[in-house]
Amino acid sequence: MTDIEQSHKHTQNAPFLVTKNQGLTIISINRPPWNMMGMEFMDELELLLPKLKKDNSVRALLFTGEGSDNFSAGMDLKQLVEKMGNIRDISALFDQRLRVLSAIENLNKPVIATMFGYCLGGGLELPMACHFRLAAKEGCKIGLPEMDLGTVPAWGGSARLTRLVGRMHALDMILRAKKIDGPEAYRIGLINEVVDNDKLKERAIELGLELATHAPPNAISEIMPVIIKGSDLSQEESLRMEREAVLNTLGTPESQEGMMAFLEKRKPVFKDKD
Protein backbone atom coordinates (compact mmCIF):
# COMPACT_ATOMS: atom_id res chain seq x y z
CA MET A 1 0.00 0.00 0.00
CA THR A 2 1.39 3.42 -0.99
CA ASP A 3 1.57 6.45 1.30
CA ILE A 4 -1.35 7.97 -0.57
CA GLU A 5 -3.44 4.83 -0.17
CA GLN A 6 -2.39 4.56 3.48
CA SER A 7 -3.71 8.05 4.18
CA HIS A 8 -7.13 7.08 2.73
CA LYS A 9 -7.75 3.55 3.94
CA HIS A 10 -10.75 1.62 2.64
CA THR A 11 -13.01 2.30 5.62
CA GLN A 12 -16.76 2.37 5.52
CA ASN A 13 -16.87 6.05 6.45
CA ALA A 14 -14.15 7.34 4.09
CA PRO A 15 -15.58 9.96 1.69
CA PHE A 16 -13.61 8.36 -1.13
CA LEU A 17 -11.47 5.28 -1.65
CA VAL A 18 -8.01 5.39 -3.22
CA THR A 19 -6.42 2.47 -5.03
CA LYS A 20 -3.43 2.25 -7.32
CA ASN A 21 -3.07 0.07 -10.39
CA GLN A 22 0.47 0.44 -11.72
CA GLY A 23 0.78 4.16 -12.54
CA LEU A 24 -2.98 4.74 -12.40
CA THR A 25 -4.52 6.12 -9.19
CA ILE A 26 -8.27 5.53 -8.84
CA ILE A 27 -10.44 7.73 -6.62
CA SER A 28 -13.91 6.33 -5.99
CA ILE A 29 -16.59 8.47 -4.34
CA ASN A 30 -17.72 6.41 -1.36
CA ARG A 31 -21.27 7.47 -0.61
CA PRO A 32 -23.39 4.95 -2.56
CA PRO A 33 -25.96 4.83 -3.95
CA TRP A 34 -26.04 8.61 -4.66
CA ASN A 35 -22.33 9.32 -4.04
CA MET A 36 -22.98 12.84 -2.80
CA MET A 37 -19.86 15.00 -2.54
CA GLY A 38 -20.03 16.47 0.93
CA MET A 39 -17.71 18.88 2.67
CA GLU A 40 -15.47 16.12 3.97
CA PHE A 41 -15.07 14.86 0.40
CA MET A 42 -13.75 18.21 -0.82
CA ASP A 43 -11.68 18.79 2.32
CA GLU A 44 -9.81 15.50 1.90
CA LEU A 45 -9.55 15.79 -1.89
CA GLU A 46 -7.98 19.24 -1.56
CA LEU A 47 -5.32 17.75 0.71
CA LEU A 48 -4.73 14.76 -1.57
CA LEU A 49 -4.31 16.51 -4.92
CA PRO A 50 -0.94 18.19 -4.16
CA LYS A 51 0.41 14.79 -3.09
CA LEU A 52 -0.77 13.25 -6.36
CA LYS A 53 0.85 16.07 -8.32
CA LYS A 54 4.22 15.60 -6.60
CA ASP A 55 4.21 11.80 -6.71
CA ASN A 56 6.02 10.82 -9.91
CA SER A 57 4.73 7.25 -9.66
CA VAL A 58 1.22 8.66 -10.22
CA ARG A 59 1.00 9.07 -13.97
CA ALA A 60 -2.76 9.17 -14.50
CA LEU A 61 -5.86 9.60 -12.35
CA LEU A 62 -9.36 8.12 -12.59
CA PHE A 63 -12.50 9.38 -10.81
CA THR A 64 -15.40 6.99 -10.43
CA GLY A 65 -18.16 6.22 -7.94
CA GLU A 66 -18.72 3.25 -5.69
CA GLY A 67 -21.40 0.84 -6.84
CA SER A 68 -23.12 0.78 -10.20
CA ASP A 69 -26.02 3.17 -9.56
CA ASN A 70 -24.63 6.70 -9.85
CA PHE A 71 -21.37 8.53 -10.38
CA SER A 72 -22.59 11.41 -8.21
CA ALA A 73 -25.79 13.34 -7.64
CA GLY A 74 -23.63 16.32 -6.71
CA MET A 75 -23.29 18.34 -3.55
CA ASP A 76 -24.89 17.32 -0.26
CA LEU A 77 -27.69 19.90 -0.18
CA LYS A 78 -28.37 19.31 3.51
CA GLN A 79 -24.91 20.63 4.29
CA LEU A 80 -25.50 23.60 1.98
CA VAL A 81 -28.78 24.51 3.69
CA GLU A 82 -27.02 24.48 7.07
CA LYS A 83 -24.67 27.20 5.82
CA MET A 84 -27.29 29.33 4.09
CA GLY A 85 -27.44 31.84 6.94
CA ASN A 86 -23.80 32.88 6.62
CA ILE A 87 -22.78 34.33 3.26
CA ARG A 88 -19.09 34.13 4.22
CA ASP A 89 -19.39 30.40 4.85
CA ILE A 90 -21.18 29.92 1.53
CA SER A 91 -18.60 31.96 -0.36
CA ALA A 92 -15.69 30.06 1.22
CA LEU A 93 -17.37 26.74 0.44
CA PHE A 94 -17.75 27.54 -3.25
CA ASP A 95 -14.27 29.07 -3.45
CA GLN A 96 -12.87 25.77 -2.21
CA ARG A 97 -14.72 23.81 -4.88
CA LEU A 98 -13.43 26.11 -7.58
CA ARG A 99 -9.88 25.63 -6.25
CA VAL A 100 -10.22 21.84 -6.16
CA LEU A 101 -11.62 21.54 -9.68
CA SER A 102 -8.98 23.93 -11.01
CA ALA A 103 -6.32 21.77 -9.34
CA ILE A 104 -7.72 18.70 -11.12
CA GLU A 105 -7.78 20.49 -14.47
CA ASN A 106 -4.22 21.75 -14.03
CA LEU A 107 -2.72 18.61 -12.54
CA ASN A 108 -0.54 18.17 -15.68
CA LYS A 109 -1.37 14.47 -15.52
CA PRO A 110 -4.28 13.00 -17.49
CA VAL A 111 -7.47 12.64 -15.46
CA ILE A 112 -10.39 10.44 -16.50
CA ALA A 113 -13.97 10.39 -15.22
CA THR A 114 -16.57 7.66 -15.55
CA MET A 115 -20.15 8.89 -15.90
CA PHE A 116 -23.10 6.66 -15.09
CA GLY A 117 -26.50 7.10 -13.47
CA TYR A 118 -26.87 10.57 -11.98
CA CYS A 119 -24.11 13.00 -13.00
CA LEU A 120 -25.79 16.16 -11.78
CA GLY A 121 -24.54 19.52 -10.54
CA GLY A 122 -21.14 18.88 -9.01
CA GLY A 123 -21.45 15.36 -10.39
CA LEU A 124 -21.03 16.89 -13.84
CA GLU A 125 -18.78 19.79 -12.87
CA LEU A 126 -16.08 17.49 -11.50
CA PRO A 127 -15.95 15.38 -14.70
CA MET A 128 -15.82 18.56 -16.79
CA ALA A 129 -12.60 19.48 -14.97
CA CYS A 130 -11.17 16.11 -16.06
CA HIS A 131 -9.47 15.58 -19.41
CA PHE A 132 -11.31 12.43 -20.53
CA ARG A 133 -14.95 11.57 -19.89
CA LEU A 134 -16.45 8.15 -20.56
CA ALA A 135 -20.21 7.68 -20.19
CA ALA A 136 -22.48 4.67 -19.90
CA LYS A 137 -24.62 3.92 -22.93
CA GLU A 138 -27.80 3.61 -20.87
CA GLY A 139 -29.23 5.24 -17.78
CA CYS A 140 -27.12 8.40 -17.61
CA LYS A 141 -28.77 11.58 -16.39
CA ILE A 142 -26.20 14.28 -17.09
CA GLY A 143 -26.96 17.91 -16.32
CA LEU A 144 -26.74 21.10 -14.32
CA PRO A 145 -30.18 21.30 -12.66
CA GLU A 146 -29.50 24.36 -10.51
CA MET A 147 -32.31 26.36 -12.22
CA ASP A 148 -34.80 23.94 -10.64
CA LEU A 149 -33.35 25.02 -7.26
CA GLY A 150 -33.70 28.70 -8.08
CA THR A 151 -29.97 29.26 -8.48
CA VAL A 152 -27.13 28.78 -10.97
CA PRO A 153 -24.11 26.44 -11.33
CA ALA A 154 -21.51 27.26 -8.68
CA TRP A 155 -18.50 25.01 -9.36
CA GLY A 156 -17.52 26.51 -12.71
CA GLY A 157 -20.19 24.56 -14.55
CA SER A 158 -21.39 27.31 -16.87
CA ALA A 159 -17.87 28.29 -17.93
CA ARG A 160 -16.60 24.75 -18.58
CA LEU A 161 -19.79 23.52 -20.22
CA THR A 162 -19.79 26.47 -22.63
CA ARG A 163 -16.15 25.83 -23.57
CA LEU A 164 -16.80 22.14 -24.11
CA VAL A 165 -20.08 22.17 -26.07
CA GLY A 166 -20.58 25.78 -27.18
CA ARG A 167 -23.02 28.48 -26.12
CA MET A 168 -26.09 27.00 -27.82
CA HIS A 169 -25.93 23.64 -26.04
CA ALA A 170 -24.84 25.23 -22.74
CA LEU A 171 -27.85 27.57 -22.74
CA ASP A 172 -30.16 24.69 -23.64
CA MET A 173 -28.91 22.50 -20.80
CA ILE A 174 -28.60 25.15 -18.09
CA LEU A 175 -31.70 27.30 -18.69
CA ARG A 176 -33.94 24.23 -19.06
CA ALA A 177 -32.21 22.25 -16.28
CA LYS A 178 -32.03 19.63 -19.00
CA LYS A 179 -30.72 16.14 -18.31
CA ILE A 180 -29.17 14.24 -21.21
CA ASP A 181 -28.02 10.68 -21.65
CA GLY A 182 -24.64 9.28 -22.72
CA PRO A 183 -25.28 9.14 -26.47
CA GLU A 184 -26.58 12.74 -26.50
CA ALA A 185 -23.59 13.90 -24.44
CA TYR A 186 -21.33 12.28 -27.03
CA ARG A 187 -23.25 13.90 -29.90
CA ILE A 188 -22.73 17.42 -28.54
CA GLY A 189 -19.07 16.84 -27.67
CA LEU A 190 -19.33 16.63 -23.88
CA ILE A 191 -17.77 13.17 -23.57
CA ASN A 192 -15.07 11.18 -25.36
CA GLU A 193 -16.68 7.73 -25.50
CA VAL A 194 -19.97 5.94 -24.88
CA VAL A 195 -19.43 2.49 -23.37
CA ASP A 196 -21.73 -0.41 -22.50
CA ASN A 197 -22.70 -0.07 -18.84
CA ASP A 198 -21.07 -3.30 -17.72
CA LYS A 199 -17.82 -2.39 -19.47
CA LEU A 200 -17.57 1.27 -18.42
CA LYS A 201 -15.22 1.01 -15.44
CA GLU A 202 -13.16 -1.65 -17.20
CA ARG A 203 -12.74 0.60 -20.24
CA ALA A 204 -11.84 3.59 -18.06
CA ILE A 205 -9.11 1.58 -16.32
CA GLU A 206 -7.87 0.37 -19.69
CA LEU A 207 -7.56 3.97 -20.92
CA GLY A 208 -5.97 5.03 -17.65
CA LEU A 209 -3.34 2.29 -17.86
CA GLU A 210 -2.61 3.22 -21.48
CA LEU A 211 -1.93 6.81 -20.40
CA ALA A 212 -0.07 5.76 -17.26
CA THR A 213 2.19 3.06 -18.65
CA HIS A 214 2.68 3.80 -22.34
CA ALA A 215 2.73 7.59 -22.57
CA PRO A 216 5.88 9.67 -21.86
CA PRO A 217 5.27 11.42 -18.51
CA ASN A 218 7.64 14.36 -19.07
CA ALA A 219 6.15 15.11 -22.47
CA ILE A 220 2.63 14.84 -21.06
CA SER A 221 3.39 17.28 -18.24
CA GLU A 222 4.81 19.73 -20.80
CA ILE A 223 2.02 19.55 -23.38
CA MET A 224 -0.99 19.56 -21.06
CA PRO A 225 -0.66 23.22 -19.95
CA VAL A 226 -0.06 24.19 -23.58
CA ILE A 227 -3.45 22.74 -24.48
CA ILE A 228 -5.38 23.66 -21.33
CA LYS A 229 -4.03 27.15 -20.69
CA GLY A 230 -3.09 27.90 -24.28
CA SER A 231 -6.68 27.53 -25.44
CA ASP A 232 -7.50 30.78 -23.60
CA LEU A 233 -4.51 32.66 -25.01
CA SER A 234 -3.77 34.22 -28.37
CA GLN A 235 -2.35 31.92 -31.03
CA GLU A 236 1.01 33.69 -30.74
CA GLU A 237 1.18 33.06 -27.00
CA SER A 238 0.04 29.48 -27.42
CA LEU A 239 2.74 28.87 -30.04
CA ARG A 240 5.32 30.32 -27.67
CA MET A 241 4.23 27.88 -24.96
CA GLU A 242 4.44 25.02 -27.45
CA ARG A 243 7.97 26.02 -28.45
CA GLU A 244 9.05 26.03 -24.80
CA ALA A 245 7.54 22.57 -24.35
CA VAL A 246 9.47 21.29 -27.39
CA LEU A 247 12.76 22.65 -26.06
CA ASN A 248 12.06 21.17 -22.64
CA THR A 249 11.50 17.68 -24.04
CA LEU A 250 14.08 17.35 -26.82
CA GLY A 251 17.25 15.60 -25.74
CA THR A 252 15.72 14.13 -22.58
CA PRO A 253 16.04 10.38 -21.86
CA GLU A 254 12.37 10.15 -22.75
CA SER A 255 12.80 11.62 -26.23
CA GLN A 256 15.96 9.55 -26.80
CA GLU A 257 14.07 6.38 -25.92
CA GLY A 258 11.17 7.34 -28.19
CA MET A 259 13.42 8.01 -31.17
CA MET A 260 15.50 4.87 -30.65
CA ALA A 261 12.35 2.78 -30.37
CA PHE A 262 11.10 4.25 -33.64
CA LEU A 263 14.37 3.47 -35.41
CA GLU A 264 14.48 -0.03 -33.93
CA LYS A 265 10.81 -0.63 -34.81
CA ARG A 266 9.73 -1.44 -31.26
CA LYS A 267 7.47 0.09 -28.66
CA PRO A 268 9.13 2.69 -26.43
CA VAL A 269 9.40 2.07 -22.70
CA PHE A 270 9.03 5.31 -20.76
CA LYS A 271 10.08 5.39 -17.11
CA ASP A 272 8.61 7.50 -14.34
CA LYS A 273 9.21 11.23 -14.58
CA ASP A 274 12.60 12.28 -13.21
Active-site positions?
Answer: 125, 146
Q: Which helix (H) or strand (E) holds 112?
A: strand 111-115
Q: Measured at the alpha carbon of residue 36, what is the angle toward residues 34 and 42, in degrees to the nearest 5?
A: 155
Q: Which helix (H) or strand (E) holds 222?
A: helix 217-228
Edge-first strand order for the sheet with 16-21 is 16-21, 24-29, 60-65, 111-115, 132-136, 193-195
Pairing of strands 193-195, 132-136: parallel
DSSP 24: E
DSSP 106: T
Backbone angles phi, psi at 241, to 5 degrees: -65, -40
